[in-house]
């Protein structure tokens, strides 16, 4: 259903919260099927990609706890039907649970190379929630 479709066309909605509430990076699955999620980010010097978080339909999960340390985060998600939310920022992944340092030479290091979509949290955001939705639907707010 989503294969080969850009993250925007795959219908995702991003909400920012900058109040004094808990500071976290969260993902919500507002689809009708289970979704597997991988996340990548940098500390300014090194890249890290990790996954998989499995979210049932209508579930949310905190992926990173605490105040956001970066402006940009990268997400890749796929559902049980083979649909994907992806982009053009390539990171290293693998089929089972992973935590991978670096984004270079994925194949040479025995990993897959996967396209993640970019999430710009802005310069001052303390928390951020990404809402994954099915195409042609509106995420509940």
Number of domains in the chain: 1
Residue 19 has pLDDT above 60, yes or no: no
In a domain? residue 93: yes
Res 4: pLDDT: 40
Domain enclosing residue 90, as ranges: 12-133
In a domain? residue 5: no
In a domain? residue 6: no
The CA distances from residue 55 to 23, 34, 36, 92, in Å, are 20, 6, 6, 21
Residue 5 has pLDDT above 50, yes or no: no
In a domain? residue 7: no
In a domain? residue 49: yes
Asked if 128 and 63 touch (Cβ cutoff 8 Å), the reply is no
Res 51: pLDDT: 94
Res 138: pLDDT: 46
**Mean pLDDT confidence for 21-31:** 83
**Mean pLDDT confidence for 83-87:** 92
In a domain? residue 141: no
**What are phi and psi for residue 50, nearest 5 degrees?**
-150, 155
Taking only the tens place, the pLDDT of each residue in 114-137 is 999 999 998 787 889 999 987 654
Taking only the tens place, the pLDDT of each residue in 30-76 is 999 999 999 999 878 899 999 999 999 999 999 998 888 888 999 99
The CA distances from residue 125 to 21, 25, 88, in Å, are 11, 10, 24
Residue 80 maps to which CATH number? 2.60.40
In a domain? residue 140: no
In a domain? residue 1: no
Res 6: pLDDT: 39
């Amino acid at each position: 259903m989503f294969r080969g479709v850009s993250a925007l066309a795959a219908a995702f909605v991003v909400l920012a919260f900058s109040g004094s509430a808990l500071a976290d990076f969260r993902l919500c699955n507002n689809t009708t099927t289970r979704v597997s999620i991988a996340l990548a980010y940098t500390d300014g010097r090194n890249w890290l990609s990790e996954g998989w978080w499995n979210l049932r339909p209508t579930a949310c999960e905190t992926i990173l706890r605490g105040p956001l340390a970066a402006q940009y985060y990268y997400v890749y998600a796929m559902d049980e039907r083979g649909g994907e939310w992806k982009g053009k920022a390539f990171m290293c992944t693998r089929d089972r649970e992973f935590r991978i340092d670096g984004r270079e030479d994925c194949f040479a290091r025995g990993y897959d190379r996967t396209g993640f979509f970019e999430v710009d949290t802005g310069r001052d955001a303390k928390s951020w929630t990404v809402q994954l939705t099915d195409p042609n639907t509106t995420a509940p707010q």
